[in-house]
Structure 1
Amino acid sequence: MNKNTFLGITGLISCFFFSGIALLQAQSKSADLKNWPKGSSPKEIGTRVADHFVVTPHTNFGKPTPPKVITYPESCTWYGALTFAKASGNKKLTRDLAERFEPLFGVESKMIPVPDHVDYCVFGAVPLELYLQTNDKKYLDLGISIAEKQWGPPEGPRVKEESHEFYKQGYTWQTRLWIDDMYMITALQAQAFRATGNQKYIDRAAKEMVFYLDQLQKPNGLFYHAPDVPFYWGRGDGWMAAGMTELLSSMPKNNPNRERIMKGYTDMMASLLKYQGKNGMWNQLIDDPEAWAETSATGMFTFAMITGVKKGWLDKEIYGKAARNGWLGLVSYINENSEVTEVCEGTNKKNDRQYYLDRKRNTGDLHGQAPILWCATALLR
């Protein structure tokens, strides 16, 4: 190769390299939530992920054994696929998701979770969304029965002594002060409000959210995984972000708890801005630079920001940029099978930093599939 040829190839490579950098810089500076590079639009991505979910068997947290009941990651993904179907006008997808549900009224009836725990109760959001889209009362009856059970008198093997005290104070007897709860509870109760218009459901969830905020939110706006675990675990904080977003999206403006919840939400969003990576992602431990970029948390934070920008709760320029970068970052973690990669496995709490850093990094885990669909829905609304 002569010198001129070498210089020409080098110049061409440099041109492509710096053009790529310029493109990324342009994307990072943009707050546009409507126009997307080819292959990354919310309709394209949402359709891929939702269609993949339709043909995915019931899963048991990645274990080879089939689940005994529908697990909460599946419930959250199912709900997300339904909301995406509505936002994208995909009636076939709604029918497919309803057909997936039909065996639960018959041969798979034992797979409906007993609503004696927050992780099981979130399942109720699925039939309530089916009711909102089909107007079939059988879905309403099932979903409302679960929502009522969540605030009913404590009963069953999971009842603890403090459950009765929470119930007497007007909180759900399933209160346990884990940050995960603030999606599991609010998603169900907000859906019950949307399906019936009965304000008691949104009032319940709002009171519960304020209790959790007062007990668990730190001065920096973030949340430890639990009071005895001083780590800002990404997906745990993601449940809080998504839960506040679901609640605020339906809460009447005159609700007495709205201002308090909005403050909790905006404080959290402001803190999250500081920790978003240049690739649009947030880490497994939010404030730990040695932690790995994790997709389920990023999806939940991005969903919260997209919604906040569109609802006018957040500054369009500042948070629109963060939301756009979050979405483009997430899209880069979806493989050819429409599976989201780098998803933290199901995680119990533990007062050990290394425990969080060493969590398995799954592919196709429904913890990560669900928030992609929430984001796609929010972008299309």
Structure 2
Amino acid sequence: MTTPCDTRLVAAIADATAATTPRIWGFGVGGTLTALLRAGEALNRPDLTERVVDLVTPSLAAPPDPTDHLIAVEALLALTNRRPDLDVTDACRRWLTAVRHARPARPGGPRLHRPDLPPWSSTVWVDCMHTDGPGLAALGHLDEAVTYATEYAGALQLPHGLFQHGYDARDGRGNGVAWGRGQAWALLGLTDTLIHAPDSGLAERLTRLIDALAAHERDGEWSTVVDDPDAPVEASTSAYLAWVVPHGIDAGLVDPVHRAMADRAWHATLRRLTGGALAVSEATPVGAARDYHHRALGVFPWGQAPLLHAALDRTTEENG
């Protein structure tokens, strides 16, 4: 049974989230912005909506930039629903251009977003799972959403179902590390893509990922290298599962038996809270397995986003 969340705790989480400094644009930002927008409505807090407006407004009419593939189009669409006076058309167009102009290193392979950025010029990140497919689906390009998600997943999903953090498209070799937060990016991306663009192949990949995560769960928590029990716990993984898995179940994408896992993940997340803040690992580059063991902890947008969304979901359930 899902545990309801106290509105005062939601407010504390929202305040801690608003105090972070999301990079506009960077990986993991979209969930932070949509969480603040939801919290603004749920708590009758216009200041939270204005925080999002202040963050994104300078980017709406910006010139093209190599980071345009990171523009969180789902967040911009959610913002314009609340603030129709803001024109997000140009920013969404820049994102679509950047994503469509990305080219694979080899025919049929995953696309490379930063060929201009040594030493990552041929790197595909698992983070791309939560940007390209969901963004294309949100803009109504359903076939492309499935194609992009399938290309990324084909390079990144390992035989046991977990996703590796990075893949060198020119060498045809991945780093083989099942990074904890990376599983969350894959989970979020597959779920958000499939909700709008059903596809049996992606659905099967989602099932394999969920089953693999269930096999490595430790009382609602996962290691920062999921299949390494000696690696430290990555709290953001629990927060993302607490948020995303119930949505997957409600959409008919995930076996309902896993709702108990999501509830354990939520309880584990609550145990690690300090006020409304959750300490998670800092931004983590693709590396060797040992490199993931020693990342500094802090309160970051990518940790607060799933925390606030999961708390809001549980408050909504409590209020009927």
Higher strand proportion, which one? 2
Matched residue, 1:58: 21
TM-aligned CA deviation for residue 226 of structure 1? 2.1
Determine if the alignment matches structure 1 residue 149 to structure 2 residue 97: yes
Question: What is the root-mean-square deviation of aligned Cα atoms in Å?
Answer: 3.1
> Residues 114 and 120 of structure 1 are in contact (CA less than 8 Å); yes or no, is this contact kept in structure 2?
no
Determine if the alignment matches structure 1 residue 356 to structure 2 residue 296: no
> Residues 130 and 139 of structure 1 are in contact (CA less than 8 Å); yes or no, is this contact kept in structure 2?
no
Matched residue, 2:271: 332
- Residue type of the alignment partner of 2:228: D
Matched residue, 2:261: 322
> Residues 58 and 74 of structure 1 are in contact (CA less than 8 Å); yes or no, is this contact kept in structure 2?
no
Q: Summarize the Cα distance change of 1:73–1:223 in structure 2 as closer, same or farther, 3 Å threshold.
A: closer
Matched residue, 1:307: 247
Higher alpha-carbon deviation: 183-192 or 266-275: 183-192
- Residue type of the alignment partner of 1:129: A
Alpha-carbon distance between aligned partners in 2 of 1:111 and 1:356, rounded to the nearest angstrom:
37
Determine if the alignment matches structure 1 residue 82 to structure 2 residue 30: no
Matched residue, 1:262: 203
Larger Rg: 1
- Residue type of the alignment partner of 2:77: L
Determine if the alignment matches structure 1 residue 365 to structure 2 residue 300: yes
> Residues 234 and 294 of structure 1 are in contact (CA less than 8 Å); yes or no, is this contact kept in structure 2?
yes
Alpha-carbon distance between aligned partners in 1 of 2:33 and 2:286, rounded to the nearest angstrom:
26
Aligned residues: 302
> Residues 187 and 246 of structure 1 are in contact (CA less than 8 Å); yes or no, is this contact kept in structure 2?
yes
> Residues 233 and 284 of structure 1 are in contact (CA less than 8 Å); yes or no, is this contact kept in structure 2?
yes
Q: Residues 159-308 of structure 1: matches in 2 within 5 Å?
A: 163=103, 174=113, 176-192=123-139, 199-200=140-141, 202-227=142-167, 228-251=174-197, 253=198, 258-278=199-219, 280-308=220-248
Alpha-carbon distance between aligned partners in 1 of 2:298 and 2:192, rounded to the nearest angstrom:
26
Q: Summarize the Cα distance change of 1:334–1:146 in structure 2 as closer, same or farther, 3 Å threshold.
A: farther
Q: TM-score, normalised by structure 2?
A: 0.81
TM-aligned CA deviation for residue 354 of structure 1? 1.9
> Residues 178 and 225 of structure 1 are in contact (CA less than 8 Å); yes or no, is this contact kept in structure 2?
yes
Q: Summarize the Cα distance change of 1:81–1:186 in structure 2 as closer, same or farther, 3 Å threshold.
A: farther
TM-aligned CA deviation for residue 300 of structure 1? 2.0
Alpha-carbon distance between aligned partners in 2 of 1:104 and 1:147, rounded to the nearest angstrom:
17
Alpha-carbon distance between aligned partners in 2 of 1:76 and 1:105, rounded to the nearest angstrom:
13
Determine if the alignment matches structure 1 residue 116 to structure 2 residue 63: no
Alpha-carbon distance between aligned partners in 1 of 2:69 and 2:186, rounded to the nearest angstrom:
14
TM-aligned CA deviation for residue 129 of structure 1? 1.1
Q: Summarize the Cα distance change of 1:112–1:153 in structure 2 as closer, same or farther, 3 Å threshold.
A: same
Among residues 52, 67, 79, which one is paired with 1:130 in the alignment? Answer: 79
> Residues 110 and 155 of structure 2 are in contact (CA less than 8 Å); yes or no, is this contact kept in structure 1?
no
> Residues 234 and 297 of structure 1 are in contact (CA less than 8 Å); yes or no, is this contact kept in structure 2?
yes
> Residues 171 and 208 of structure 1 are in contact (CA less than 8 Å); yes or no, is this contact kept in structure 2?
yes
Secondary structure at 1:177's aligned position in 2? strand
Alpha-carbon distance between aligned partners in 2 of 1:299 and 1:115, rounded to the nearest angstrom:
31
**Please, which runs of 5 or more residues in structure 2 have no aligned partner?**
115-122, 168-173
Q: In the TM superposition, what whole-angstrom CA distance separates every residue of 1:115-150 from its partner, at most 9, and x where no partner exists? A: 53376323x33221111334x153442442233223
Q: Summarize the Cα distance change of 1:105–1:85 in structure 2 as closer, same or farther, 3 Å threshold.
A: closer
Q: Summarize the Cα distance change of 1:290–1:52 in structure 2 as closer, same or farther, 3 Å threshold.
A: same
Alpha-carbon distance between aligned partners in 2 of 1:355 and 1:173, rounded to the nearest angstrom:
24
**Please, which runs of 5 or more residues in structure 1 have no aligned partner?**
1-31, 61-68, 155-162, 193-198
> Residues 127 and 139 of structure 1 are in contact (CA less than 8 Å); yes or no, is this contact kept in structure 2?
no
> Residues 61 and 90 of structure 2 are in contact (CA less than 8 Å); yes or no, is this contact kept in structure 1?
no
Alpha-carbon distance between aligned partners in 2 of 1:368 and 1:111, rounded to the nearest angstrom:
28
TM-aligned CA deviation for residue 43 of structure 1? 4.7
Q: TM-score, normalised by structure 1?
A: 0.69
Q: In the TM superposition, what whole-angstrom CA distance separates every residue of 1:13-71 from its partner, at most 9, and x where no partner exists? A: xxxxxxxxxxxxxxxxxxx12x44xxxx17554332223333x26356xxxxxxxx554
Q: Summarize the Cα distance change of 1:110–1:243 in structure 2 as closer, same or farther, 3 Å threshold.
A: closer
Alpha-carbon distance between aligned partners in 1 of 2:92 and 2:292, rounded to the nearest angstrom:
36
Alpha-carbon distance between aligned partners in 1 of 2:61 and 2:282, rounded to the nearest angstrom:
22
Secondary structure at 1:267's aligned position in 2? helix
Alpha-carbon distance between aligned partners in 2 of 1:85 and 1:250, rounded to the nearest angstrom:
25
